């Protein structure tokens, strides 16, 4: 059995945070029924790139889910939705606060009728607070939550993190909240409201920024690839690219100096991490005077030989060929529907001994493509 076998999730979300959460829950064995807008569906169905007319973006997030298109303002579709609710364990939505209440499907109304239902809501600013009704996207919360203020080079403008961490972090916290609520239900018999804000999630992932600001009274700025409180912990130039050097303590720094042939470990400017952070610019110049003399591959071999964490900076094409990634079953083909395109998705990063590894992901659903199968299930 997969851990969530027997759990049915009604997923009313679109784009990223909610679908990412339901994808994770599906990877753990839950059945996900995607309730979409008739004629349009999830916004990401229209997101490029396209392969034979199908969105690769949509497919990677929604592979294996089922789709039914329902207009929750239409009487006949509401009747179907009511039947789905009676069979569901979890409802996930990402509308602005109040939207589901106006439809008659808010937390209070549903909890009174269906006390075992776990109700999970993800939104830009949460269900409470003076700005709960404001719209938000990933970049909005990266900016508002401080992430952009620490991302980019010190002499450059603030930069959005390349991965959509505004959505992804919220999706991860939403998944955790849903799992906790399901576990609690086993003990109490009652579901709960899980309220996750994208903005809250951005603050929650900034451990060093919060520590620096509260301890010193000064907000940290942008430091490029360099860690603000550990040195050396950054990318360094080799003759043909960049190599990561991450010496997280004094013993590692001493081994790094030996590996590079430098006598710096006892230098008072570099003998402690605090001193190295104070003199990080000088230390970078001294290290790069050595690393520029050889290739990335050379330094990877040297640093790994010294037992130091290191890596080359890979682009995504290289990542998808990485033997460690492949050995962990993290690149999976999506089984195409008859006549559909062959696409690729990521694997499940949560490895559980009782959970069988998939060799491929099922195809993403066509809009409303599972209506009859879902209706048959409801009638059974």
**What are the backbone angles phi and psi of residue 139, rounded to the nearest 5°?**
-65, -30
DSSP 362: P
- Let me know: does 120 contact 92? Beta carbons within 8 Å: yes
Dihedral angle computed from the Cα positions of residues 371, 373, 379 and 380, in that order, rounded to the nearest 10 degrees:
-160
CA–CA dist 118, 93 (Å, integer): 11
Cα–Cα distance list, 29 to 92, 181, 250, 323 (Å): 16, 17, 44, 27
By residue count, the chain amounts to 380
Catalytic residue of the set 111, 208, 227, 280: 227
DSSP 47: P
* Residues 6 or more apart in contact with residue 125 via CB below 8 angstroms: 131, 132, 133, 134, 136, 197, 198, 199
Task: Give the DSSP per-residue string, 303-360.
Answer: HHHTT--EEE---HHHHTT-HHHHHTT-EEEEPPPTTPPPEEEE--S---TTSPPPSS
* Residues 6 or more apart in contact with residue 41 via CB below 8 angstroms: 67, 69, 367, 368
75: tokens are: 């009487």
Rg for the chain, CA atoms, rounded: 25
Type and span of the H or E element at 204: helix 198-204
User: Which residues partner with 55 through β-bridges?
Assistant: 50
DSSP 162: S
161: tokens are: 């993190």
Is residue 279 annotated as part of the catalytic site, yes or no? Answer: no
Would you please indicate which residues are annotated as catalytic (active-site) residues? 227
């Amino acid at each position: 059995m997969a851990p969530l076998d027997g759990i049915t999730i009604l997923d009313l979300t679109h784009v990223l945070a909610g679908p990412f959460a339901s994808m994770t829950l599906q990877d753990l064995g839950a059945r996900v029924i995607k309730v979409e807008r008739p004629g349009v569906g999830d916004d990401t169905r229209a997101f490029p790139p396209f392969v034979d007319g199908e969105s690769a973006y949509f497919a990677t997030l929604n592979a294996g889910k089922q789709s039914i298109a329902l207009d929750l303002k239409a009487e006949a579709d509401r009747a179907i939705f009511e039947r789905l609710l009676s069979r569901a364990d979890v409802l996930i939505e990402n509308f602005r606060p109040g939207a589901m209440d106006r439809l008659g499907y808010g937390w209070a109304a549903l909890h009174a009728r269906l006390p075992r239902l776990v109700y999970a809501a993800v939104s830009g600013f949460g269900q409470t607070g003076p700005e709960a009704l404001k719209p938000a996207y990933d970049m909005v919360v990266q900016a508002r939550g401080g992430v952009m203020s620490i991302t980019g080079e010190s002499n450059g403008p603030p930069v959005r993190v390349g991965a959509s961490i505004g959505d992804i972090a919220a999706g991860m916290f939403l998944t955790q909240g849903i799992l906790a609520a399901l576990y609690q239900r086993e003990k109490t018999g009652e579901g709960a409201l899980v309220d996750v804000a994208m903005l809250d999630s951005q603050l929650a992932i900034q451990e060093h920024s919060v520590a620096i600001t509260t301890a010193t009274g000064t907000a940290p700025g942008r430091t490029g690839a360099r860690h603000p409180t550990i040195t050396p912990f950054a990318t360094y130039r080799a003759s043909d690219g960049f190599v990561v050097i991450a010496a997280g303590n004094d013993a590692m720094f001493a081994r790094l100096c030996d590996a590079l042939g430098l006598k710096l470990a006892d230098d008072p400017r570099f003998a402690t991490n605090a001193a190295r952070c104070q003199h990080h610019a000088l230390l970078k110049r001294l290290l790069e005077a050595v690393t520029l003399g050889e290739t990335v591959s050379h330094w990877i071999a040297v640093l790994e030989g010294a037992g130091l964490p290191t890596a080359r900076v890979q682009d995504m094409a290289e990542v998808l060929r990485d033997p460690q990634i492949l050995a962990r079953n993290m690149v999976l083909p999506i089984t195409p529907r008859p006549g559909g395109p062959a696409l690729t998705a990521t694997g499940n990063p949560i490895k559980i001994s009782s959970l069988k590894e998939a060799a491929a992901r099922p195809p993403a659903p066509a809009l409303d493509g599972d209506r009859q199968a879902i209706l048959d299930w409801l009638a059974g």
